[in-house]
């Protein structure tokens, strides 16, 4: 039997003493039919298995109240309140890429073939007016939402309708960071990094490698560049910040910055870095 591959896909938490890791499990990395997922909880005592999903869970988000939301390629949305998990089946086969929200009553989930779901007032409904595969969603308010689509498309919601913006690129965009209504960062393939809002964007240069994630930490903008480590935005360019790490994902929890990928996670308190590697096989198994 092939060796099982474990990959940290997402990280969520409100306190550094209690963090959840969304772990992707693959029997055959090139065969999506073998993919499953698990949520592993990390605290001061180590890691413990919290939930196993027999499906590919692609994204996880924690609301300010502490509720966990997770979305899967099987079209299911999983939620956890005080460690008790429940599943919502949407009644149709949809492929979900990303879940994110403002609070418990305003949660959004996007996916393939123009699928956008909104949870308002506790019930999920499907939004109209979008097309193509939708990769990531974010925003600053109910009337200021952005979605990244295929081939560099960017959509914006103004509170009443979705519209396609004049995108500055046709390269694949995979992540966005909404700092404010007037300052949004988007990144993606081959060093693509822009900032702006609406139809006005400027390029941030300096790197040719793929860029995977963005985060604001202590009023600084950091970029996850996978095996190239963590980068930082300085003026109109992006420069290396920490090379000795794997940073497919970045997340801020409390007063710490976390960089993660594969089976390890690096933690930065603003001055010093520390690293933790995880033996997921010991708690997840097959």
Q: What are 100-112's pLDDT values in tens digits?
A: 999 999 999 999 9
Residue 128 has a pLDDT of 83
Number of domains in the chain: 1
Instruction: Characterize the bridge pairing of strands 57-62 and 46-53.
Output: unpaired
Is 270 part of a structural domain of the chain?
A: no
Residue 225 has a pLDDT of 97
Tokens of 117: 């779901």
* ∠ Cα 248 203 243 (to 5°): 35
Is 174 part of a structural domain of the chain?
A: no
Rounded distance between C-alpha atoms, residue 228 and residue 247, angstroms = 8
**CB 77 within 8 Å of CB 100:** no
Is 266 part of a structural domain of the chain?
A: no
Place of tokens 């413990």: 48
Residue whose C-alpha is closest to residue 135's, from 110, 118, 115: 110
Is 111 part of a structural domain of the chain?
A: yes
Residue 29 has a pLDDT of 75
Global pTM value? 0.95
Is 74 part of a structural domain of the chain?
A: yes
Using the predicted structure, report yes or no on whether residue 204 has a pLDDT greater than 70: yes
Tokens of 282: 């010991």
Is 113 part of a structural domain of the chain?
A: yes
Is 82 part of a structural domain of the chain?
A: yes
pLDDT band at 1 (very low <50, low <70, confident <90, very high): very low
pLDDT digits (tens, 9 = 90+) for 28-46: 877 777 889 999 999 888 8
Residue 91 Cα distances to 87, 88, 114, 142, 253, angstroms: 12, 9, 17, 26, 34
- What is the extent of the structural domain holding 84? 63-128
Q: CATH code at 114?
A: 2.40.10
Mean pLDDT of the chain: 94
DSSP bridge partners of 260: 249, 265
Is 170 part of a structural domain of the chain?
A: no
């Amino acid at each position: 039997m092939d060796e099982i591959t474990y990959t940290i896909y997402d990280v969520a938490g409100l306190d550094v003493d209690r963090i959840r890791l969304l772990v992707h499990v693959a029997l055959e990395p090139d065969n999506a039919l073998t993919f499953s997922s698990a949520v592993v909880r990390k605290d001061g005592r180590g890691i413990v298995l919290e939930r196993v999903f027999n499906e590919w869970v692609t994204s996880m988000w924690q609301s300010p109240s502490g509720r966990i939301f997770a979305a899967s390629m099987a079209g299911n949305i999983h939620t956890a309140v005080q460690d008790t998990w429940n599943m919502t089946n949407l009644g149709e086969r949809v492929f979900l890429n990303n879940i994110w929200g403002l609070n418990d009553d305003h949660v959004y989930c996007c996916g393939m073939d123009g699928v956008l779901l909104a949870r308002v007032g506790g019930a999920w409904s499907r939004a109209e007016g979008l097309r193509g595969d939708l990769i990531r969603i974010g925003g600053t308010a109910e009337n200021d939402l952005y979605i990244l689509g295929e081939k560099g498309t960017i959509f914006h919601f103004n509170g009443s309708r979705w519209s396609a913006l004049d995108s500055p690129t046709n390269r694949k965009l995979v992540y966005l960071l909404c700092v404010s209504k007037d300052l949004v960062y988007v990144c993606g393939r081959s060093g693509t990094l822009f900032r702006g809002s609406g139809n006005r964007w400027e390029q941030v240069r300096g790197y040719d490698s793929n860029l995977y994630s963005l985060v604001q930490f202590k009023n600084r903008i950091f970029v996850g560049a996978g095996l190239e480590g963590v980068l930082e935005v300085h003026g109109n360019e992006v420069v290396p910040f920490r090379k000795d790490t794997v940073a497919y994902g970045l997340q801020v929890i409390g007063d710490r910055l976390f960089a993660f990928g594969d089976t390890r996670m690096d933690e930065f308190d603003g001055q010093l870095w520390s690293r933790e590697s995880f033996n997921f096989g010991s708690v997840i198994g097959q």
